[in-house]
Structure 1
Amino acid sequence: MTPDKHTERHVSLSHWGAFTATVENGRIVRCTPFSRDPAPSPMLSAIPEMVHSPLRVARPSVREGWREGKPRTGHDAFREVSWDEALDLVAGELTRVRQAHGPTAVFGGSYGWSSAGRVHHARTLVRRFLALGGGFVDQLANYSFGAAQFLLPHILGSFQAVTGRATDWPSVIDNTKLMIAFGGLALKNSQVGSGGVGAHDTETWLRRARAAGVRFVNVSPFKADAPDFLDAEWIPIRPNTDVVLMLGMAQVLLSDGRHDTAFLARYCAGFDRFADYLTGKSDGTPKTPEWAEAICGVPAATIRDLARRSAAMPTFLTATWSLQRAHHGEQPYWALITLAAMLGGIGLPGQGFGFAHGSIHGPGLPRRALPGPEIAPPLNPAKTAIPVARIADMLLDPGGTYAFNGQTLTYPDIRLVYWAGGNPFHHHQDLNRLQRAWQKPETVIVHESWWTPTARHADIVLPATTTLERNDVGGTSRDPFVFAMHKAIAPVGEARNDIDVFAALAGKLGYADAFTEGRDEMDWCRLVYQRLRDGAARQDIELPSFQQFWAEGVVELPPPERDYVLLEEFRQDPEAHRLGTPSGRIEISSATVAGFAYDDAPPHPAWLPPAEWLGAPEAARFPLHLITNQPVRRLHSQTDPGPVSAAGKILGREPIRLNPADAARRGLTDGDIVRVYNARGACLAGVTTDSGLAAGVAIMATGAWFDPVPTGEGLDVHGNPNVLTPDIGTSRLTQGSSAQSTLVEVERFVGTVPPVRAFDPPPLAHAAAAV
């Protein structure tokens, strides 16, 4: 006789969409998209299998060989232990390291994509725990837009142009005639948003813009970076040379006299110095369209035409985050702002510039200027942090000095890494180098829900709950919806909430009250929501009570009363609304940056050849420029073991996209397994050809779980392209990630293809004895 089926439904939120989880007899069986979502993500269907995956970390586990100092290989066996033993080990290690070496021997690692919920946001929690415990070494910025975060304050006085509100799509629809998208407007990127997505409506806004007569230009090596319905003009460009195209356009505006001299005089500083660079007065090389064509591959006639069209009609310039994730990645952002200033439309409806319209869900979507539901971490008493992309440098060079944003700093000597949320063995560059650096700490502690590559490179692994195993509040300042995230099932195995783990550890270390503030999970949920409600009340917006919000599951913020335009107030009154730069204006040339005297970061936008690009000497040996982008079927490395991601692989490997001529030149056809390699390492991939990809360019999505062969040959068999990307800073100014400056070669893989073992749990000992 079949037992009765007990069914429940619970509202929740992920970074790729809101949903209702259906639970049958304690198991998630489906996730139904939010009814208001016009284009829900297929990634939702991966959630049930991931929650109940055999890859879940079931119990606290300790790596065999840790006490003996054996290296972390990613192929080690683990011993399952009780929570009491695990917590004692973690507390003991933190105490030992802090007493012997001080707080700067502890590194707090995390990445913000771990959960759309703000109460159980792992990055916030690990920083809170370590700060209240005496301090730690923190991370500055992120891999997404780290270069922009430290560049833009020198130009605009803050970095809000890349993180805050962008000119609304309604303003573009009503006023823009030409939108030039450097890096494109790929819809796949708008499928995800940090803090969650209520309604995926970027496509809706783009369709409205096209119907309103906005013309689009897609400046990218990849035609599909603009959806077909935009009928976008495609300008295939050599990767990493966008600044050259912008300089060529700027030179045309200057030589034609089409630049807005009045705007430049009133709102900008340092244009004369930049003009001397454009004309060649300062370096002997005029930045003409012919000069630009030789570098970026875009015909001079196209450059002239694009510049003149931009000056003849209301034009909006946008650039994706990916442009600044390259060697000298500061330059295209600075040049884009400068080009927009020369056009004179900054601060006017539908004109000027924006960042991230093609990078993530949210930019340009109308939303009231209210904060998201957030909890800020306390101040870090150690007052020490490194740029996020310099982790391997720090571990490999303790005591070494490095330049950063006008300072000379020293890398701390890290003895213990505490990581909760995120997967550095996905998002860092040159993973073989990171694997060597990862041997340096004495202890690595990780909170994780699954046996990810990072968990397998840890010494102590504490099993963490997933979103559906806890209560939370989700939302972001980029989205008008805030969701109650209801606990749907009991924790899988012995998983615990991160907040409970940290509270227990804080109790062992003597500061539980400071960590919890006397609040339980639901108290924190109420606090987060009440802060949002109080902020709304200050704008005369009444949001429902917490009880009503929790019962109904969602609240929608009212739309803004008028369109938002970036820098509109500054445009209207530049004295009353001075920017935070030394001049109070847009700094086309920066005396501050000039004072740093960095040869890799000049004081105005400039062309600095990257270490690796198709014009570099190294291209003779590795003649393909590899672009690594956000995948279609997962968020970074999240849900990679699930069915949605698996459906996009070729014989279990990540695809590599090639131009048909490049594939034919190497004797390759669709479906072939190839070795993609350079001097840093190699990975296997499956070939797919695409005539909409510029010749000499290859594309691989990031996020395939790192799966190196155990023999130490530097070969990843699964297709993680970050074994190939260089681990160098964008410049001494910002020290961002240079992932997009990568040259490779591709060849057919000969021999027996090694199996993918990334989704096999590690050997586990004493599972039956765990309590």
Structure 2
Amino acid sequence: MGKILDSTIGSDISRRKFLALSAGAAALAGAGMAGCSPKKESASTVTEHTEPIDAEEGATWVTAACWHNCGGRCLNKALVKDGVVLRQKTDDTHEDSPDYPQQRACQRGRSQRMQVFGADRLKYPMKRKNWSPEEPHGELRGEDEWERISWDEAYELVATEIKKIYDEYGPESVFVLGGSELPRVFQLMGGYTPRWGQVSWGAWPDAYAMIMGSPGYSSDAPDRLTLRKQKLVILWGANPANSSAGNPTYNYLQAKKAGTKFVVIDPRYNETAEALDAQWIPIRPSTDTAMILGMINHIISQGLHDKEYLDKYCVGFDSEHMPSGEYPEYTYKPLERNEFVFASEPADPSQNFYDYVMGEGAFASEGAKTPEWASEICGVDAETIKQLAEEYATTKPATIFAGGAPARINEGECLPHAMLTLGMVCGQIGRDGASVSGTMHNSASNGGGALVSPGGAGVKVELPANPFPQKQYALNNGEMWNAILNGSHTMYKGETRDVNIQMIYQGMGGALNQRQAMTQGIEAHKKVEFVLTMNYVLNTSAKYSDVVLPVTTEWERPGTLLTGNREILIYGQHITDPLYEAKSDQEIAIGIAEKLGFKAEEVYDIDETQQLFNKLAGCTVLGSDGATKEPLLTITQDDIKEMGVTGEPQEGKITLAEFKDKGIYQVERTEGDAYTNLPFAKFIEDPEANPVATASGKFEICCQSLAGYIDHVGFSEKDPLPKYVRITEGYEDGVENDRPFQLLTQHYQRRSHHVFDNVNWLREAWPQELWINASDAAELGIENDDPVRLSSPYGSVVRPAFVTQRIMPKTIGLGEGAWAELNADGDDIAGATNTLSSPIPTGQGHTGFNSNNCIIEKYSGELDPDCEWPQRVIFE
């Protein structure tokens, strides 16, 4: 493959010739590569150079979008000649330093050209061979052959089918799994049924907002300079080295160098723990709340709790500080449901948190939540629980950064509630930057609002409102497949609604692969009359469709603006013209709309280049006072003319030409600047003058509004206190049901969720392995690389074993996002974690991915390395 790329780089070739070569190179990448070959050859597939390489004549370095949901948005530059990407590099716009770090791309961004120019790009519109509007043959979805069709035929087929479904079943029968462009057309047609439910952050969003009175569940944390002043940082179920691309791990390293101690609590000894040389405390999945309660019990028993803080800033800790009921009516506007109005009532003083955790008063019969009690559940030694409890209570300031994983379980709301209560008990929220929050993704290690922001696209066309809005009629992620199969779903407590879904549309994303109970989702896809997908590769959602329309990537569009951490804005630019017959999502939406009898301007009143200009012109940066937003870009009349758009010249901090040349604007931080983030500092300074936006105006250990909201949603119930409850598909369920292994679904360096799983460069470097503890493997007779089957009531996967001491016994680790490949026996040999997950909605409607009870056994069949599998190439 290196020779192929060498010959490509070293010669003048046509774009068509390059595509042919890149297809051949990508095909070769599927065989005999490092990570697959018994000789473990070098993973490098390009020529190594010992000296810097000058840009070739006629080639230009251009900032290329890396637009995926990895938490990074790093600087990614491509050397482009005649629309061909010869090489890639990352941030070299300034000298790297801890205070002013470069925004370096990870391995996923560096492999982007194999994604954009991959041999498996969808080249033409296509339909299933045995599908027709009259005879859909849904049972063949996922197995049928594909036929190439023209764009005009595709538009006609899709428009005819959409009209038929709207006429026969009504707009509610159209279910949108993802994407925003074609749904604009659906709104013109009379509406559609959307979906709802928190995914990445688990139970954090609504729980945090109602307990703390802030929407900042992911950003109420110290910024990266304040982080260095924290004496102790607990990373609880957080692994930014894998799941927060970019600079978070680097920022944590700077804090470690400044003297911060790090503790990682995780079922795995993860990459972040290794990088920080952190203390590792292994814990059983879904049992974190028990450990937290054990810590609080020990802190109180040792007299280390901050009684003054609890009395002044919190309600619900003891019988003297319970909610009084004398609060004004509390209105909460959830992210995805109708607003919830709560009328407070006096709380029973006997139902206070102190008595619960200490096993006194009304809770005497339940017993104290001691470290010993917690140890039996969570698997952490009682002495370790005590040691960490004392260290956290006495080390000031200390911060807890929680990943989404611990709260990404069924009935998960008690976890953030208990963790926040731990911070309150120790007075570790709002003082000296200390905090407790679900700080992950692009806010990991650097809390606070954005310092530089893009403008809006400026699309002003007014669409008819969807009469079936998300806040009332949407299907929850945990219920949607069952709703399609059985015809009803939960509206609110005691209220169900009939639904008749006959069309599934998937634009952006890959919900079939990435949501709970994928095997049930495949059944749902096979049941309906029509499935339409728009994508640039044949991912799992596209594979189970009737018509698939090829879309362009961001590299083939006019450009885009990308936000990463709070300090940067990246200008991803046009790299190459659309490949093959691919079109943008907006172009496709307009094409379908016109076949339905609408005009293009009824869908989008301005084109994508004008939208890009509006975003550029609207860019703002926070001034040095930390309060005033200023225009970022100086734009001239010549700039406007060159882009071929309409607009007005303006003055800003840098020129558009400079922004385009660098591809990034980064706010330079200095110690003591106005960009410091100190969450809740004003509330701590004067709680009467600066109440938080909870029902009581204080932090709520007894949170009646959260309990009321969850009861109102109708999936399950929650006590107003942060109690330990037995989790559905949690540790206790597995022991009782003879499925003793808990599946831990981890983010993985090979992918950004499901994106990049088709890139063989990454497949060869990071095999999709199934982590198993060495003691469990020995008991089952499993050795390293043995193929094993992991089964749940919902499906089974087969993957090679990775035998290690780096994972908790009776816990199985598997990277989420693999593209499912079901064999004749129904086993998913790719290892998609949602083959195993359960269709169970609970609490506020979040997704409980991160604990599924399974059994494991040796697999008798053969399993070739997945980087040797043929790619999903349709039409050479």
Q: TM-score, normalised by structure 1?
A: 0.88
Matched, 1:217 2:289: no
Matched, 1:579 2:579: no
Whether the 8 Å CA contact 1:612–1:618 is kept in 2: the answer is: no
Whether the 8 Å CA contact 2:141–2:545 is kept in 1: the answer is: no
Aligned mate of 1:334, from 401, 407, 417: 417
Matched, 1:566 2:679: yes
Tell me which amino acid in the other structure corresponds to 1:349.
D
**Structure 2 equivalent of residue 84 of structure 1:** 152
Q: Distance in 1 between matches of 2:688 and 2:175?
A: 43
Q: Distance in 2 between matches of 1:244 and 1:577?
A: 33
**Structure 2 equivalent of residue 242 of structure 1:** 288
The verdict on how the C-alpha distance between 1:574 and 1:471 changes in structure 2, with shifts beyond 3 A counting, is: farther
Q: Distance in 2 between matches of 1:504 and 1:376?
A: 21
**Structure 2 equivalent of residue 197 of structure 1:** none
Provide, for residues 704-758 of structure 1, a one-character-per-residue CA deviation record: whole Å limited to 9, x for no partner. Answer: 211011x3x33111222221122212x2x31211111112222222134479697
Aligned mate of 2:656, from 534, 549, 555: 549
**Structure 2 equivalent of residue 75 of structure 1:** 143
Q: Distance in 2 between matches of 1:370 and 1:409?
A: 44
SS at match of 1:722: helix
Structure 1 alignment gaps of length 5 or more = 111-122, 192-199
The verdict on how the C-alpha distance between 1:613 and 1:227 changes in structure 2, with shifts beyond 3 A counting, is: same
Whether the 8 Å CA contact 1:324–1:332 is kept in 2: the answer is: yes
SS at match of 2:856: strand
Aligned mate of 1:182, from 228, 231, 236: 236
Matched, 1:382 2:382: no
**Structure 2 equivalent of residue 279 of structure 1:** 358
The verdict on how the C-alpha distance between 1:589 and 1:626 changes in structure 2, with shifts beyond 3 A counting, is: same
**Structure 2 equivalent of residue 401 of structure 1:** 490
The verdict on how the C-alpha distance between 1:569 and 1:512 changes in structure 2, with shifts beyond 3 A counting, is: farther
The verdict on how the C-alpha distance between 1:594 and 1:752 changes in structure 2, with shifts beyond 3 A counting, is: closer
Deviation at 1:99, TM superposition (A): 3.1
The verdict on how the C-alpha distance between 1:241 and 1:167 changes in structure 2, with shifts beyond 3 A counting, is: same
**Structure 2 equivalent of residue 420 of structure 1:** 507
Tell me which amino acid in the other structure corresponds to 2:411.
H
Deviation at 1:658, TM superposition (A): 1.5
Whether the 8 Å CA contact 2:454–2:616 is kept in 1: the answer is: no
1:435-474 paired onto structure 2 within 5 Å: 435-474=522-561
Whether the 8 Å CA contact 2:683–2:692 is kept in 1: the answer is: yes
Tell me which amino acid in the other structure corresponds to 1:332.
L
SS at match of 2:122: coil
SS at match of 2:612: helix
- Bigger drift between 236-245 and 147-156 goes to 147-156
Tell me which amino acid in the other structure corresponds to 1:47.
Q
Deviation at 1:339, TM superposition (A): 0.9
Aligned mate of 2:794, from 680, 693, 706: 680
1:589-668 paired onto structure 2 within 5 Å: 589-595=702-708, 597=711, 600-618=717-735, 621-648=738-765, 650=767, 654-668=768-782
Deviation at 1:515, TM superposition (A): 2.3
Whether the 8 Å CA contact 1:659–1:690 is kept in 2: the answer is: yes
Q: Distance in 2 between matches of 1:474 and 1:639?
A: 21
CA RMSD of aligned residues (A): 2.8
Provide, for residues 526-551 of structure 1, a one-character-per-residue CA deviation record: whole Å limited to 9, x for no partner. Answer: 11222333887981534123543353
Deviation at 1:28, TM superposition (A): 2.5
Tell me which amino acid in the other structure corresponds to 2:860.
V
Aligned mate of 2:604, from 494, 498, 516: 516
Provide, for residues 226-263 of structure 1, a one-character-per-residue CA deviation record: whole Å limited to 9, x for no partner. Answer: 33342311111111111001111111223333222232
Provide, for residues 56-92 of structure 1, a one-character-per-residue CA deviation record: whole Å limited to 9, x for no partner. Answer: 1111111233321312431211221111111122222
Q: Percent identity?
A: 25
Provide, for residues 115-142 of structure 1, a one-character-per-residue CA deviation record: whole Å limited to 9, x for no partner. Answer: xxxxxxxx34344443454322223344
Whether the 8 Å CA contact 2:518–2:834 is kept in 1: the answer is: yes
Whether the 8 Å CA contact 2:240–2:444 is kept in 1: the answer is: no
**Structure 1 equivalent of residue 128 of structure 2:** 63
- Bigger drift between 719-728 and 87-96 goes to 87-96
Q: Distance in 2 between matches of 1:246 and 1:511?
A: 58
Whether the 8 Å CA contact 1:243–1:335 is kept in 2: the answer is: yes
- Bigger drift between 458-467 and 99-108 goes to 99-108
Whether the 8 Å CA contact 2:401–2:437 is kept in 1: the answer is: yes
**Structure 1 equivalent of residue 872 of structure 2:** 761
- Bigger drift between 295-304 and 753-762 goes to 753-762
Tell me which amino acid in the other structure corresponds to 2:788.
V
Matched, 1:727 2:839: yes
**Structure 2 equivalent of residue 312 of structure 1:** 394
The verdict on how the C-alpha distance between 1:388 and 1:532 changes in structure 2, with shifts beyond 3 A counting, is: farther
- Bigger drift between 380-389 and 488-497 goes to 380-389
Matched, 1:251 2:297: yes
The verdict on how the C-alpha distance between 1:664 and 1:759 changes in structure 2, with shifts beyond 3 A counting, is: same
The verdict on how the C-alpha distance between 1:393 and 1:264 changes in structure 2, with shifts beyond 3 A counting, is: farther
The verdict on how the C-alpha distance between 1:375 and 1:297 changes in structure 2, with shifts beyond 3 A counting, is: farther
Q: TM-score, normalised by structure 2?
A: 0.78
Matched, 1:169 2:169: no
Provide, for residues 201-230 of structure 1, a one-character-per-residue CA deviation record: whole Å limited to 9, x for no partner. Answer: 223311111112111111111122533342
Provide, for residues 325-344 of structure 1, a one-character-per-residue CA deviation record: whole Å limited to 9, x for no partner. Answer: 11222111111111111111
Q: Work out the number of aligned pairs and report it.
A: 732
Q: Distance in 2 between matches of 1:457 and 1:648?
A: 28
**Structure 2 equivalent of residue 353 of structure 1:** 436
Matched, 1:7 2:59: yes
Q: Distance in 2 between matches of 1:66 and 1:145?
A: 38
Whether the 8 Å CA contact 1:12–1:483 is kept in 2: the answer is: no
Provide, for residues 491-533 of structure 1, a one-character-per-residue CA deviation record: whole Å limited to 9, x for no partner. Answer: 111000111111223334425323212x111110111222333
Whether the 8 Å CA contact 1:250–1:342 is kept in 2: the answer is: yes
Q: Distance in 2 between matches of 1:263 and 1:412?
A: 50
Q: Distance in 1 between matches of 2:494 and 2:61?
A: 53
**Structure 2 equivalent of residue 119 of structure 1:** none
The verdict on how the C-alpha distance between 1:367 and 1:268 changes in structure 2, with shifts beyond 3 A counting, is: closer
The verdict on how the C-alpha distance between 1:414 and 1:668 changes in structure 2, with shifts beyond 3 A counting, is: same
Aligned mate of 1:480, from 563, 567, 571: 567
Q: Distance in 2 between matches of 1:158 and 1:72?
A: 49
Tell me which amino acid in the other structure corresponds to 1:11.
T
The verdict on how the C-alpha distance between 1:360 and 1:72 changes in structure 2, with shifts beyond 3 A counting, is: farther
SS at match of 2:499: coil
Q: Distance in 1 between matches of 2:751 and 2:354?
A: 44
Whether the 8 Å CA contact 2:410–2:727 is kept in 1: the answer is: yes
Whether the 8 Å CA contact 1:152–1:159 is kept in 2: the answer is: yes
SS at match of 1:98: helix
Whether the 8 Å CA contact 2:743–2:811 is kept in 1: the answer is: yes
SS at match of 1:227: helix
- Bigger drift between 491-500 and 738-747 goes to 738-747
Structure 2 alignment gaps of length 5 or more = 1-6, 14-57, 94-101, 319-351, 640-654
Larger gyration radius, structure 1 or structure 2: 2
